[in-house]
Amino acid sequence: MKVLANDGISQSGIDALQAKGFEVITTNVAQEQLISYINENEVTVLLVRSATTARKELVDSCPSLKIIGRGGVGMDNIDVDYAREKGLKVINTPASSSASVAELVFAHLYGGVRFLHDSNRNMPLEGESNFKGLKKAYAKGIELRGKTIGIIGFGRIGQEVAKIALGVGMRVIAADKFMETATVQVALFDGQTVDVDIKIQSQESLLAESDFVSLHVPAQKDYVIGSNEFNQMKDGAAIVNAARGGVIDEVALLKALDSGKLSFAGLDTFEEEPKPAMQVLMHSKVSLTPHIGAATGEAQDRIGEELAQQIAEILL
């Protein structure tokens, strides 16, 4: 049986699939040619990440397909319900990349509070001629320790963010529509663990209390954070979105940054991917990454191995 990993798969995932007798194809097929390629090669399993879509037309047109797999969490690029109605298995790897995304959140946070996103732009341009001026400009950083982080969406990734925050010495609060209480287990390097109860509260109160807000919610029809929500936040607070593009109103975000309501924002996802708005990309108070939350070697290994295990359990 053939597995087409159209957006790539780690070598460990390839090895795991081949060890179970699958033929793994890693050719990147253009979206408009995907249906014909699957049919010509009698592909049984299609694996995607965020670049490739699997919509109704593909489901209807590819009778050899038995599984569609998403390497990662969100499956908004797959017509999941329709595929399942048609008898296909749709799988993903919700736990594999959680730690990687959480670490990226803190990369944005640490970079933001010490102006790294801006100093890394300006040091190559002015570091030789204006060193003292830049030193003064970036000399008013703050520490994360002792501050409050509010996590909107307290699933796997949100809880991984909480674990890092607790280790840093931050106060952690959370808002989640689907839970009333939560306890996270922080694992130390030597095997010891510490259980910490996290306060679950309304989003409105979370925004009012938080020095930093991190979003971990799925894509949805309406903005989660817009003008009203920015107005509810503390003056000088900051926000990070490593979830999905479109959960933040970027026009309202830029207004909040320009007015000083927010001190900075960290964005790994954007409303208009893969062509984010130039106003967002050029803003001096925005820390930017190109949707790389799960893009670590360790996460990709876990994703590949977990997909291989699920595929084998279904087909063998």
Instruction: Tell me which of 271, 291, 305, 306 is the catalytic residue.
Output: 291
Domains defined for the chain, CATH in brackets? 2-96+297-315 (3.40.50.720), 98-288 (3.40.50.720)
Q: What residues have CB less than 8 Å from 105, skipping those under 6 apart?
A: 161, 164, 214, 240, 242, 266
Q: Is 283 a catalytic residue?
A: no
pLDDT of 94 above 90: no
**What are 220-255's pLDDT values in tens digits?**
899 999 999 999 999 999 999 999 999 999 999 999
d(C-alpha 5, C-alpha 106), whole Å: 30
pLDDT of residue 227: 98
pLDDT of 267 above 90: yes
Q: Residue 256 — very low, low, confident or very high, per pLDDT cuts 50/70/90?
A: very high
d(C-alpha 178, C-alpha 168), whole Å: 27
Percentage of the chain exceeding pLDDT 90: 96
Instruction: Tell me which of 117, 156, 244, 283 is the catalytic residue.
Output: 244
Q: Quick one: tokens of 63? A: 């009778």
Are the CB atoms for 182 and 154 separated by under 8 Å? yes
pLDDT of residue 31: 97
**What are 43-58's pLDDT values in tens digits?**
999 999 988 999 999 9
Q: Is 145 a catalytic residue?
A: no
For Cα atoms 56, 248, 48, give the angle at the middle one, nearest 5 degrees.
Answer: 35
Q: Is 291 a catalytic residue?
A: yes
pLDDT of residue 233: 98
d(C-alpha 199, C-alpha 183), whole Å: 9
Are the CB atoms for 172 and 197 separated by under 8 Å? no
Percentage of the chain exceeding pLDDT 70: 100
Task: Spell out where 57-135 has E strands.
Answer: 67-70, 89-92
pLDDT of residue 72: 87
